[in-house]
Amino acid sequence: ETRKKLFLDLYFRCGRMADSLQPAAPSIGLTEDIEDVGEREWRFGILKLKFKNKEFEKLYRLFFEKVNRSLLVVVCCLMVFLGAMYFLNFLVQGKFEDIPFDNATVTCGGFDFAYEGNIADKGALPPLLVFIISMVIFAILAVVIALTKTLLTFFSCLVYSLLVVTHYTYYAVLNHHTSSDIFGLMMFIVFVTYTMIPLTLRVSTTLNVTFSIFHIVITAVLADDSQSDVIGHKIGANILLLFATHVLCICYYYISEIGLRKIFYQTKAVVLSQLTIQKQLDKRNRLVRSVLPDFLADSFQEHIMAHSLDQLGGKSGGFHKLQIKTYHNVSIVFADIVGFTKLSSGCTAQELVEILNALFDRFDKLAENFHCLRIKILGDCYYCVSGIPEATSDHAVNCVKMGLAMVEAIKDVQKHTGTDVNMRVGVHTGSALSGVLGSMNKLQFDVWSDDVTAANHMESGGLPGRVHISEFTAKALGDQFQLEPGNGEERDDYLRDHQIKTYLVAVPENPEILTEESVSQSSVNLVENQHATVGYTKDSGRPSVLASVIAAQIGMMGVGLRRPSTNVAMSGEEELEVETLTKFKDTMLGDANLSFFGESEELYKSVIIYKDLNVIKQNMSRPDKLFKLYLLISLFCFVFIYAVQTIMTPRTYVLLGTFFPGFISISIFLILYSLHLLRRHSDVCGNLTFMPLVRLSIYLISNYAVRVAVSVGTIAWVMFAAMINMATCESGDHPGSDGSCNCTTYQEFTNYTSKWSASSTRCQYPQYFFYCALLAMMTTVVFTRLNWIIKSAINLVAASIYTGVILGARNCLFDNFDRAVYGLSIPCSQFFQLKIQAVILLWCLFFALLMIGRQDTLTNRIAYLWQLKNKKDKEDNRLLEEVNLLLVRNIMPDHVAHHFLHQGQQSLGLYSESHDDVCVMFAAIPNFSEFYNESEVNNQGLECLRLLNEIINDFDDILLKKKFSGIQKVKTIGSTYMAASGFHKKHPGLQHVGLMADYAQAMMQGLARINKDSFNDFQLSIGINHGPIVAGVIGAKKPQYDIWGNTVNVASRMYSTNLPGKLQVTEHTAMILEEQGFLIEKRGEVFVKGKGNLVTYFVNGRAR
């Protein structure tokens, strides 16, 4: 069992099962996901990442140059420092007065000098002039590059060219040439070209390889070493050193480019996330405002978000929030399209939705102009109020004008369809309760009061083409309109029972509503927008020409129709890509400094340490999957250092004895840090022998402290290898009387030296220790995840030790080399001593490594900050998407929600679809009107609505059960609940009709529980019908989903003609339910308005 547990644990660690369960994250604009590079770091083709989008690749190159601009300035400053040190050395260096030569006039680098003694300062003048001139040029370049924001590629090439010219000019003025002359400067130039000059890898490699080959050839041809047999050894050692330097720098280039591309990628991802989040917020805001008016939307935003997050987290709330307010002195408008059934029967789904959208969109603009608030659209009925949320004394006038304008607008439909459609408008004035009912998943904004009920009956008791108002509205109008007797009580029982006197508003000969500038402008805007959005239909997928013309004419009102726009709307992804590219370009290359260059709230920029301790811990815990590459490069340089010393320094037991322990220890760590790669092979994962080693490898990669210790140990071995063999060298020195080292004189040295031999312990070419020291210090650059302070401390100690050895303990080796060179040539062969040259270059390299290490650490720190921000933004975006999905499900089915959530801003068009077999249900509480009371005890009806809110919430909660997932709540109308099913074929055949009946029974049971708790006797009257319907979303600004058709009308009549506590269905629906095991009871013939007598049935639940 233990072995099995270990195996399963390792199996999960291997990531094979986890990878198979989780879909791969999309890579934005990359051929490979950067985060996955660490798993395949051995394949350099993968490391060389390129962005798919050429524009992003160009931006990356500009970003790369911008980031490395500071390093290019540092290169110029280092060359100024180098020249200054040469000049200072020229002023203070000592002379070897024991080297004899005859007084003569000699030519040195083209200059004639007369000598009257031993070596003089003038002997170094030609090489000195080279560095003084280059120092001035580099100083000017440093200032120009720092102040210039463009032409960085030109400046990079110029700096490189000057480095090469300086190198070869200096070599040319030497009167005596050896194959190892100024080779340290050569290595330094190659190193800074790869690591500090912003050129592409291809360009850098081409230039440096050409430069290196040319240097090897030139020095071999021009070398005039006194011992010709050593030239081959020198050239071989030089080739090894250059090859190691090239490989080291190329590997670093790849590693550092990964870091920069990570920053670039993460920055783009953050910009994309921020834009996506903003779009999601805009969508959420628009969706909330499609359900709630502006004055409620802002206050409900946070509550909706919190509730959605709780729901996503599996939490459930207690008593439901109620936000309802009482408003006095308001007027309510109900407007119904008379003849809508005939109109809809002659249109396709898309045509019907386009006509309604144009008409209701026109109504929305009229409502805005007349300071009315649209409450909701009920099929072909539009109702709004004036006086909510802001009180106005003109509320009655506004509503009457609104009604007259609606009657006028419908005439365009009459004209262009040839159908007898009209508007029947009712207006009533009084008070109203306004707010939100329903669960947070199914919010519904509405108004309630007896006056709202009266306004509804004013519409039903009105006349087509007229505005029907109550006596209360007439009093509020004053004498602004001519009124005629309405006689509404003759047409509506409610008006008669409540003794409401009514009037008809006479249509003015020149209606003011048609001459208002605001209305005309509204019409123009409608025409402008009419063809800007192309309708989408599930049926045909193309807009209807007839419906488009009608829709345009509805909004035209005498204004010339414009030509449809021919611009092709971009998809949501294309639009987002364009916006991302634009904002990303401004972010990365704008005038404002990036956080990469400027101050940061998250970092102490002086030491590049996170301010947040938790971020520090998280960053340390990140595995470094490229660490094995660092070790491989270090081992490579370690081997080449020993190879060079084997060629050019004494072959001693010390050399051999220190090589194997270092090689073995670094190799062991390399193997341990690579064993985790075996997890990709199932046969190895299943082999219990390798389990501890793989587990250890995973631990080593993830443990920051161990990585630091191994890094320091590895670097120490490499740096130790560069100088250890120097201890075995015979320098020809002899101790003085005080025990100090007294170097031999020139005459003693010439007598001491003999033919060069690699087997001898006489180190006649100590410069190769110095060259190995340069390579050893360069090795630290590849440890990019090692903190720059630690690397700088290591290099500082190493440079100090090397300096002490060169200038102190073993300075005789370098002095003897100088004597040998000066003895073979005239005084201008070396303008300063080898040991001084070595020390200056070592410290130049130290400062270069200091700046590179600092930038590498800064790159890694900021990349991780961007990664954290991107991760947080993605999580926020995911939550917003889920919240938006919950919100959009509040107003439309899931498949329609998907359409609206995944389209671009320019394509927010219509949506329409037709279905053959949709089941529609209306459930009303007929005796709630008796319960509703606007007395002081009920807080003007607020407490009654609180109970209604609980009832509706209970119905919504039942709908959330998985069993009823195929049922969509359409809307609530007062105490009436409307739902539909069959939009998706989640269930075969017509089983969704049976599920709707089950839901109706569940609603009755839920209401019974509420009755028991609240001591009430509410009863549901439910009507169900199934058949073809037209569904769609109307309103681009405030989209609302609705369904239309004869099936809906008959379902509405089923509940309005029903008995309390019963579920009534039509005959063909009853047959379907009976086949599915429901108990059916025939009621008989019932008169249905507009249909005549229909045979209906009661459904008494499923048979046991």
> What residues are labeled active site?
1053, 1089
Identify residue 570 by its one-letter amino acid code. Answer: M
User: What is the Cα–Cα distance from 704 to 712, expressed in whole angstroms?
Assistant: 12
DSSP string, 781-830: GG-TTS-HHHHHHHHHHHHHHHHHIIIIITHHHHHHHHHHHHHHS-GGG-
User: What is the Cα–Cα distance from 193 to 197, expressed in whole angstroms?
Assistant: 5
Cβ 626 vs Cβ 255: under 8 Å: yes
HSE (side-chain half, CA atoms, 13 Å) at 855: 23
By DSSP bridging, strand 483-485 and strand 381-386 are unpaired
**What Rg value do the Cα atoms of the chain yield, rounded?**
44
Return contacts of 313-322, CB within 8 angstroms, 24+ apart: 319/950, 320/439, 320/949, 320/950, 320/953, 322/435, 322/436, 322/437, 322/945, 322/946, 322/949
In the numeric block, which tokens belong to residue 660?
């194997």
Best CA proximity match to 193, nearest among 78, 58, 62, 44: 78
User: What is the Cα–Cα distance from 394 to 779, expressed in whole angstroms?
Assistant: 83
> In 1018-1072, where do the E strands start and end?
1021-1034, 1040-1044, 1063-1066
Residue with tokens 């089983």: 991
In the numeric block, which tokens belong to residue 362?
């026109």
User: What is the Cα–Cα distance from 735 to 930, expressed in whole angstroms?
Assistant: 121
Cβ 207 vs Cβ 193: under 8 Å: yes
Exposed/middle/buried for residue 598 (C-beta within 10 Å: 0-12, 13-18, 19+): exposed
739 sits in the region (left: phi over 0; alpha: psi -120 to 50; else beta) called left
Alpha helices in 889-990 (DSSP H): 894-901, 928-931, 942-959
Cβ 337 vs Cβ 412: under 8 Å: no
Q: How many CB atoms lie within 10 A of CB 647?
A: 19
Could you say which DSSP state residue 1024 is in?
E
DSSP string, 330-348: EEEEEEEEETHHHHHHTS-
Cβ 306 vs Cβ 458: under 8 Å: no
C-alpha angle with apex 1058: 1055 to 1063, nearest 5 degrees?
A: 75
Q: How many CB atoms lie within 10 A of CB 861?
A: 23
Cβ 919 vs Cβ 1070: under 8 Å: no
Identify residue 952 by its one-letter amino acid code. Answer: I
Cβ 320 vs Cβ 953: under 8 Å: yes
By DSSP bridging, strand 467-470 and strand 734-735 are unpaired
Best CA proximity match to 335, nearest among 391, 400, 289: 400
Cβ 457 vs Cβ 416: under 8 Å: no
Strand partners, 1022: 923, 1063
User: What is the Cα–Cα distance from 151 to 69, expressed in whole angstroms?
Assistant: 11
By DSSP bridging, strand 609-610 and strand 603-604 are antiparallel
